[in-house]
């Protein structure tokens, strides 16, 4: 593989892994606090799944750059500063209320579903295989968050209002979902990843029809958040402070 | 005070294609689809199954062998609405005290009482200890296509495996060393 293609692939894997990790960690904050016991268990499962997906992508990255796939993920997760993370801003926002969490997770699940549906045909074989595995779980995540979206969107005045507010807050951040990385064109050309513009169109089609069925509407007159993945809100720093606290106490400790 | 608890659903799992569905658990949920998902998340994240059914507990018509020993059980049962046409009812039965309600077949009937009467005529072998019948239309089922996303992922989760829990192994080791230190004193 040519050096610049390899580098672009490393960037992409890191971006995908960081998105999964950060939202997985955010979701784990609901453990013990979700609205009902059953959902507490379900949402903790989803959080675990996302962190598991992050691990898969970090390990692919380790293989690609010649690092140890057993130790490299921990190093990336626990020993990078906020500025070195490459996740989109949507995933680092605080969990907010239940409506906010559900809408965010729904928007991410649909994006994952659309992306993985294409990535299973990636010309980079390890990526195609990992995508097939991850996609199974994302199909279920989508079913779960879509069910909540409908029930809260069509539920009471209050649940509808909360969902619409959440959507209004989150929608500007969706611009980043399919914003290509600076060198992503190389990957598209090599058939490693699908064209992000096409993905965005397919995603919008799915989301807009789901939202309509749930009596929710995308906000008008919003300012899209167009920033690169090295730009973060202050929320990421506080998330990392908590997540990395124990590992950084003794970086040589073995578990 | 009003009861804010969601209705109870009974959960049936099929562990493999050649086994019947068995009642394993119950779960609260606002509707069948959520009940199916809640049951999946709570009960089969680790143990494996290939199919899952849920039915609202209040749709189940239930009789024990003792109750059925009364010759007037049918007339003494609370009158259910009788429909003008027949519909399929699922029949479950419990054969052993330590067993659970297990699927045995389907009967066509106009009411739960009639469904149980038909079931008694056809499925009484083994002298069941208790019976459940309920209309098929109240059942929410996983589909064969759901296996891949609902049940398969649990198969390769390392958290199913106790050896993944290093802390437990470490605690055993610490205790063992402490005992050895005590013994050598």
Query: pLDDT tens-digit profile of A40-68?
Result: 999 999 999 999 999 999 999 999 999 99
By the 8 A CB rule, do A88 and A246 touch?
A: no
Nearest residue to B42 (alpha-carbon basis) of B32, B59, B27: B27
**Domain residue spans of chain B:** 8-156
Q: What are phi and psi of B81, to 5 degrees?
A: -65, 135
Distance from CA of A231 to the nearest CA of B (A): 34
Distance from CA of B103 to the nearest CA of A (A): 26
CB atoms B37 and A136 under 8 Å: no
Residue A213 CB neighbour total at 10 angstroms: 13
Q: Does position B39 have pLDDT exceeding 80, yes or no?
A: yes
Residue A34 CB neighbour total at 10 angstroms: 17
B163 vs B38, residue with greater confidence: B38
Q: Does position A238 have pLDDT exceeding 70, yes or no?
A: yes
Of B33, B38, B148, the CB nearest to A42: B38
Q: Does position A4 have pLDDT exceeding 50, yes or no?
A: yes
Q: Chain A residues with CB inside 8 Å of B148's CB? A: 136, 139
CB contacts < 8 A, A to B, total 40
Fold of the CATH domain A3-216+228-249? Ferritin (1.20.1260)
Split at pLDDT 50, 70, 90, the class of A252 is confident
CA–CA gap between residue B36 and residue A121 (Å, rounded): 31
Q: Does position B158 have pLDDT exceeding 70, yes or no?
A: no
Split at pLDDT 50, 70, 90, the class of B161 is low
A252 vs A98, residue with greater confidence: A98
Q: Does position B68 have pLDDT exceeding 50, yes or no?
A: yes
CA–CA gap between residue B9 and residue B2 (Å, rounded): 20
Q: Among B58-72, B122-136, B145-159, where is mean pLDDT lowest? A: B145-159
Of B27, B34, B149, the CB nearest to A139: B149
Mean pLDDT value of segment A192-216:
98
Residue A104 CB neighbour total at 10 angstroms: 25
Q: By the CB < 8 Å criterion, does A137 face chain B?
A: yes
Q: Chain A residues with CB inside 8 Å of B6's CB? A: 36
A87 vs B166, residue with greater confidence: A87
pLDDT at B80: 64
Split at pLDDT 50, 70, 90, the class of A11 is very high
Split at pLDDT 50, 70, 90, the class of B1 is very low
Q: Radius of gyration of chain A from Cα atoms? A: 18
pLDDT at B10: 98
Distance from CA of B144 to the nearest CA of A (A): 14
3-state secondary structure chain A: CCHHHHHHHHHHHHHHHHHHHHHHHHHHCCCCCCCCHHHHHHHHHHHHHHHHHHHHHHHHHHHHHCCCCCCHHHHHHHCCCHHHCCCCHHHHCCCCCHHHHHHHHHHHHHHHHHHHHHHCCCCCHHHHHHHHHHHHHHHHHHHHHHHHHHHHHCCCHHHHHHHHHHHHHHHHHHHHHHCCCCCHHHHHHCCCCCCHHHHHHHHHHHHHHHHHHCCCCCCCCCCCCCCCCCCCCHHHHHHHHHHHHHHHHCCCCCC
Per-residue pLDDT of B80-102, as tens digits, reads 667 889 999 999 999 999 899 99
Secondary structure tally for chain B: helices H, strands E: 5, 8
Q: Chain A residues with CB inside 8 Å of B45's CB? A: 41, 45
Distance from CA of B152 to the nearest CA of A (A): 8
Split at pLDDT 50, 70, 90, the class of B3 is low
Q: Does position B2 have pLDDT exceeding 70, yes or no?
A: no
Q: Does position B115 have pLDDT exceeding 90, yes or no?
A: yes
CB atoms B42 and A42 under 8 Å: yes
Q: What is the DSSP letter of B148?
A: I
> For testing the chain B interface, which of A45, A102, A132 should be mutated: the one with the most B CBs within 10 Å?
A45
Of A49, A140, A255, the CB nearest to B150: A140
pLDDT at B172: 82
Split at pLDDT 50, 70, 90, the class of A250 is confident
Cα atoms in the Cβ-side hemisphere of radius 13 Å centred on B16? 1
Q: By the CB < 8 Å criterion, does A246 face chain B?
A: no
The percent of residues in chain B predicted with pLDDT above 90, rounded, is 66
Distance from CA of B22 to the nearest CA of A (A): 21
> Which SS3 state, helix, strand or coil, does residue B101 take?
coil
CA–CA gap between residue A195 and residue B141 (Å, rounded): 37
Q: Does position A175 have pLDDT exceeding 60, yes or no?
A: yes
Q: Does position A173 have pLDDT exceeding 50, yes or no?
A: yes
Per-residue pLDDT of A210-226, as tens digits, reads 999 999 999 998 899 99
Mean pLDDT value of segment B4-29:
93
Mean pLDDT value of segment B154-175:
74
Q: What are phi and psi of B141, to 5 degrees?
A: -120, 150
**Whole-number Cα distances in Å, B178 to A127, A168, A255, B163:** 48, 59, 20, 22
């Amino acid at each position: 593989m040519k050096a610049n293609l390899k580098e672009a692939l490393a960037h992409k894997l890191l971006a995908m892994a960081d998105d999964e990790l950060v939202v997985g960690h955010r979701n784990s904050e609901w453990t013990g606090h979700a609205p009902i016991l059953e959902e507490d268990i379900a949402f903790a499962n989803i959080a675990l799944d996302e962190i598991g997906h992050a691990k898969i992508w970090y390990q692919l990255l380790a293989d690609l750059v010649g690092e140890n796939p057993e130790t490299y993920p921990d190093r990336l997760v626990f020993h990078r500063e906020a500025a070195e993370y490459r996740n989109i801003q949507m995933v680092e926002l605080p969990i907010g209320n239940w409506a906010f969490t559900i809408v965010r997770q729904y928007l991410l699940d649909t994006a994952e579903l659309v992306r993985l549906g294409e990535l299973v045909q990636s010309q980079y074989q390890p990526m195609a295989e990992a995508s097939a595995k991850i996609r199974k779980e994302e199909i279920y995540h989508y079913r779960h968050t879509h069910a909540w979206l409908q029930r809260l969107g069509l539920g009471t005045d209050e649940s509808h209002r909360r969902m619409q507010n959440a959507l209004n807050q989150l929608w500007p951040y969706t611009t980043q979902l399919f914003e290509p990385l600076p060198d992503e064109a190389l990957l598209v050309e090599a058939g490693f990843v699908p064209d992000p513009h096409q993905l965005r169109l397919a995603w919008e089609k799915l989301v807009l029809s789901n939202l309509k069925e749930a009596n929710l509407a995308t906000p008008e007159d919003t300012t899209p958040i167009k920033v690169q993945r090295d730009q973060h809100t202050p929320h990421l720093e506080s998330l990392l402070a908590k997540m990395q606290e124990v590992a950084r106490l003794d970086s040589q400790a073995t578990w | 005070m009003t009861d804010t608890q969601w209705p109870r659903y009974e959960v049936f799992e099929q562990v493999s294609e050649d086994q019947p569905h068995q009642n394993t658990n119950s779960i609260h949920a606002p509707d069948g689809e959520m009940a199916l998902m809640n049951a999946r998340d709570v009960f089969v994240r680790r143990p494996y199954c290939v199919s899952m059914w849920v039915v609202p507990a209040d749709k189940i018509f239930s009789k024990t062998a003792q109750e059925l020993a009364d010759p007037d059980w049918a007339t003494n049962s609370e009158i259910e609405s009788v429909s003008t046409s027949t519909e399929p009812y699922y029949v479950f039965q419990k054969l052993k005290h330590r067993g659970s309600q297990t699927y045995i077949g389907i009967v066509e009937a106009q009411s739960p009482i009639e469904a149980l009467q038909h079931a008694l005529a056809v499925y009484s072998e083994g002298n069941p200890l208790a019976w459940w019948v309920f209309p098929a239309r109240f059942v929410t089922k996983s589909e064969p296509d759901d296996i891949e996303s609902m049940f398969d992922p649990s198969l390769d989760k390392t958290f199913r495996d106790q050896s993944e829990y290093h802390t437990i192994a470490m605690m055993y080791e610490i205790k063992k060393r402490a005992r050895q230190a005590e013994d050598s004193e």
